[in-house]
């Protein structure tokens, strides 16, 4: 799954002041300090959609909608890949893991939708797969036998590492409380999935 970091958000407004000296300034008649002006309606929309800047690091924080879309796409990819593993994997352990992914990520999607429904305005995930996720599924569809097992396991390790980074970051830095709570709840589940696939 691709990890997205978007430089969305509105920076704080900084007022520029002039320092007075002992001698008058005679070369410029009028000096006007320009502030960054943020309209009130932008501030309200900003809060609702979860756009922001991490106050500690200065890094852009993923919007609530972007987080929901990213998490939803991760779930959709995991469910589709898990169904393929259930039918195509040669290893019973991978078949069982695929089944666990279908169940676990279906539940995750339900929790994500419930969290988004509590937000005003509501944030509904758009689980459109990334180009990487689409390519990974195409690889799994076109691969059989031991090659499928190898490809599926490799994809699962990478996908869960990327998803874990996204949910952990949003749990810590996200700006939509309901989605932050979802991210904090789901992070240990993603970690458990990652540990499981690494052990197979």
The partner residues of 142 in beta bridges, in order of sequence, read none
Q: How do residues 137-182 score in pLDDT, each as one tens digit?
A: 999 999 999 999 999 999 999 999 999 999 999 999 999 999 999 9
What CATH number does residue 124 fall under? 1.20.1260.10
Say whether pLDDT at 136 is over 60.
Answer: yes
Residue with tokens 């990327």: 162
C-alpha span between 53 and 59 (Å, rounded): 6
pLDDT for 42 beyond 50: no
Whole-structure pTM value = 0.72
Strand extents, DSSP E, the chain: 52-53, 60-61
Cα separations (Å) of 32 from 14, 18, 185? 14, 9, 50
| % of the chain with per-residue pLDDT over 70 | 70
What's the structural domain count of the chain? 1
pLDDT band at 22 (very low <50, low <70, confident <90, very high): very low
Tell me the residue range of the domain where 66 lies: 1-200
- What does the alpha-carbon distance between residue 138 and residue 125 come to, in Å, rounded to a whole number? 23
N- to C-terminal Cα distance for the chain? 20
Q: Indicate the range of 13-17, 19-23, 113-117, 164-168 predicted with least confidence.
A: 13-17
Q: What is the pLDDT of residues 75-85, one digit of tens each?
A: 999 999 999 99
Integer Cα distance of 180 and 187 in angstroms: 11
Distance CA 104, CA 137 (A): 18
Q: Are 190 and 167 in contact (CB under 8 A)?
A: yes
Please tell me the predicted confidence (pLDDT) of residue 61: 74
Region of poorest pLDDT, from 9-13, 62-66, 109-113: 9-13
Q: Counting Cβ atoms within 10 Å, is residue 77 exposed (0-12), middle (13-18) or buried (19+)? A: buried
Reported as a pLDDT band with limits 50, 70 and 90, residue 111 is very high
Peptide bond into 121 cis (omega under 30): yes
Distance CA(1)–CA(195), nearest Å, equals 17
What mean pLDDT is predicted for residues 40-68? 57
In this prediction, residue 14 carries a pLDDT of 31
Contact 77, 184 (CB under 8 A): no
Task: Kindly report the average pLDDT of the chain as a whole number.
Answer: 79
């Amino acid at each position: 799954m691709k990890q997205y970091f978007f430089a969305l958000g509105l920076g704080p407004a900084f007022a520029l002041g002039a320092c007075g000296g002992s001698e008058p300034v005679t070369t410029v008649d009028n000096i006007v300090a320009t502030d960054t002006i943020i309209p009130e309606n932008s501030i309200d929309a900003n809060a609702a959609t979860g756009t922001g800047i991490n106050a500690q690091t200065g890094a852009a924080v993923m919007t609530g909608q972007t987080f929901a879309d990213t998490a939803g796409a991760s779930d959709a990819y995991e469910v589709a890949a898990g169904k393929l593993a259930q039918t195509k994997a040669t290893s019973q352990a991978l078949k069982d893991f695929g089944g666990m992914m279908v169940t676990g990520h279906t539940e995750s999607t339900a929790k994500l939708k419930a969290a988004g429904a509590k937000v005003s305005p509501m944030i509904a995930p758009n689980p459109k797969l990334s180009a990487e996720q689409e390519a990974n599924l195409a690889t799994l569809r076109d691969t059989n036998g031991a090659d499928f097992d190898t490809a599926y396991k490799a994809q699962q390790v990478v996908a869960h590492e990327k998803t874990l980074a996204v949910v952990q970051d949003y749990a810590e830095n996200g700006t939509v409380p309901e989605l932050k709570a979802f991210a904090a709840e789901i992070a240990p589940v993603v970690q458990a999935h990652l540990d499981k696939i690494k052990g197979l």
